[in-house]
Amino acid sequence: MRKFYSVIICSLLTVAAACGSTFEKSSGYDPFLPVNKILFKHWQEKNIRVPAVSSDGVFIRRVALTAAGRLPAAAEVRDFVFDDTPGKRAKLIEKFLNSPEYADMQAMRFADMLRIKSEFPINLWPNAVQLYHRTIHDELLTDRSLKSMFYDLLTASGSNFRTAHANFFRASADRSPTGLAKMVLLTTMNMRETEFSKSELEDFAKLFSLIRYKSTYEWKEEIVYNDPVPQVITARLPDGTAVTIDSGATDPRKVFADWLLQDDNPYFARAVTNKVWYWAFGRGIYPQADDLPRLESDQRSFWAKLWGSSDSSTAKGDQPFCRELQDYMIAEFQKSNYSLKHLYRLIMNSAAFQASAVNQDEELLKNFAAYPVRRLESELLIDALAAVTKGYDRYMSVIPEPFTYLPGSSKAVNIADGSISSGTLDSFGRPPRDSGQFSERNKASTDSQGLYLMNSAALYRRLNNYCRNLQRNYRNDNERLDRIYLDILSRYPTNRERQVFKKYQTSLDKKSRHLVWSDTVWVLFNSKEFIFYH
């Protein structure tokens, strides 16, 4: 690598950091949105200044990545930045929520949660994976009620190759009644078995003790069904309610589904709203997004436990705010007939989501007065590199099953099977989909990731192809630089960045001057502004 590479990296990254405040927008938020009223009231009580609004370039990138799992196209950025229409941000949100990529992104998140994986330890098998993933994808595309979807997941019986939702009770490494009970608690309520005593968990597990799996003559097909022999089961629901069930007349799974999904039961709605908040911000309304406590009669103790504090004084500040915010989200979720899109719409129109990310003070982040900076998911980062360079990775399963080699232009976000991956995806923390826990996805930055972004020969070839096309299509240096920044960072370069670029370009001899483009692209690929949500 040429020795001036590190020089230009330092120069441009320093400029980007110094110009961070210039990315903010001077206009305000919509003060009439109920969610903003809750936020403003809390910030006033905590003596926190209303955060600056993110710039249009930052906002369109944030919305596109969160809702659709992709970078906005250069033309989309240009149109949005120069659009003076009132309410353009709300319209932009609707555009991405109604795009096909929205279903792609949410299906990836649901596949992580539902453990959609063909091989060990889940063993759904390829045919079932494709059916299951496609069904979930199509339901999210049409914004099917999550109440209806989860009722089917919890009660479906049939072939894993023909009844998609029957795979819900197959997608567990432990298919014992207790193992299924733990899986159900995590997936539907964002709770762990540690919230229950051993006897309580055993009593709850009885609801799933009659689930059976029967092989057929078709390779790796299984039928999911309830034991047809009538039995009387005495079980206990997660709230402690005892139930006696005649399995000949009633499927025990339906008793749990009916209890969980009734409107006056907050467990399911609490779990979903907190989960979507986590997907939008990288942190939930509550600190442990998929480790929520039980609802207790002593609400102050309950909220103190959620906030990770037993100090009763804390309950007078942060916890009532969280409770008010969560109650509002739950009420809206239920009024919308349990619409996932509606939750995203509420969150992305809020002042918390549209806030600047320049100040990352922990107190501001805790109170949702700054947008949290965090690394992109591995699939989004790899797809972003591919979208810019038009060079895609190849994905395959390490297990020799049929149809495990995906087409060369496949996007990582669209990979249905958790068993299909690549070394690069794994290096950037793609989850194995073994447990469905948020912690499976590793968003930490590592040396191997840095080495890939700085030294990968394959990536360098791709960006050189991008730069050759850029030089053919644009004769003007300013237009080329604009296009690079729009493609990679979803904004125009600042005046200071143009000056640094020009200075570096003129420092090269004429024979090497064309390399300024590939160097610039590589620098931006390695910048935090590209690698991180911000």
Q: How far apart are CA 419 and CA 433, in angstroms?
A: 9
Please count the residues of the chain.
534
Outline where DSSP puts E strands in 311-464: 374-375, 396-397, 420-421
Percentage of the chain surpassing pLDDT 90? 82
Per-residue burial over 303-335, b = 16 or more CB atoms within 10 Å of its CB, e = otherwise: bbbbbeeeeeeebeebbebbbebbebbbebbbe
Residue 52 DSSP label: P
- Please give the Cα distance from 132 to 106 (Å, whole number): 14
Q: First CA to last CA across the chain, in angstroms?
A: 30
Q: Please tell me the predicted confidence (pLDDT) of residue 294.
A: 84
Please tell me the distance from the alpha carbon of residue 446 to that of residue 429, in angstroms, as a whole number. Answer: 10
Pairing type for strands 53-54 and 24-25 reads antiparallel
**How far is Cα 346 from Cα 322, in angstroms, rounded to an integer?**
16
Specify the pLDDT at position 311: 46
How many H helices and E strands in the chain?
25, 11
Three-class SS state of 138: helix
Residues in Cβ contact with 40 at an 8 Å cutoff, skipping those fewer than 6 apart: 31, 50, 351
Residue 375 backbone phi and psi in degrees, to 5: -75, 145
Is the predicted pLDDT of residue 423 greater than 80, yes or no? yes
Per the CB < 8 A criterion, the answer to whether 38 and 321 are in contact is: yes
Residue 76, CA distances (Å) to 61, 88, 389, 477 in order: 10, 13, 18, 21
pLDDT at 87 over 90: yes
pLDDT score, position 370: 97
The residue-averaged pLDDT of 126-132 equals 95
Q: Above 80 in pLDDT, residue 178?
A: yes
Phi, psi of 295 (to 5 degrees): -75, 125
Cα separation, 344 vs 347, whole angstroms:
5
Q: How would residue 406 be classed by pLDDT, with cut points 50, 70 and 90?
A: confident
> By the 8 A CB rule, do 125 and 131 touch?
no
Task: Look at residue 475 in the predicted model and tell me its pLDDT.
Answer: 85
Assess whether pLDDT exceeds 70 at residue 19.
Answer: no
The pLDDT value recorded for residue 201 is 97
pLDDT digits (tens, 9 = 90+) for 221-262: 999 999 999 999 999 999 999 999 999 999 999 999 999 999
> What's the one-letter identity of residue 452?
Y
Other C-beta atoms within 10 Å of 91: how many?
Answer: 12
Residue 110: pLDDT above 50?
A: yes
Residue 127 is classified by DSSP as H
How high is the pLDDT of residue 401? Answer: 59
At 24, the amino acid letter reads: E
Local structure of residue 244 (DSSP, 8 states): E
Give the whole-number percent of the chain exceeding pLDDT 70: 90
In whole numbers, what is the pLDDT of the chain averaged over residues? 90
pLDDT score for 293: 87
What pLDDT shows up at residue 399?
Answer: 74
What mean pLDDT is predicted for residues 105-133?
Answer: 96
What distance in Å separates the CA atoms of residue 361 and residue 174, rounded to the nearest whole number?
42
Mean pLDDT of 412-423: 95
Closest to 322 measured CA to CA, from 357, 358, 360, 293: 293
Are the C-beta atoms of 411 and 88 separated by less than 8 Å? no
Band of the pLDDT at 298, cuts 50, 70, 90? Answer: very low
Strand partners, 214: 223
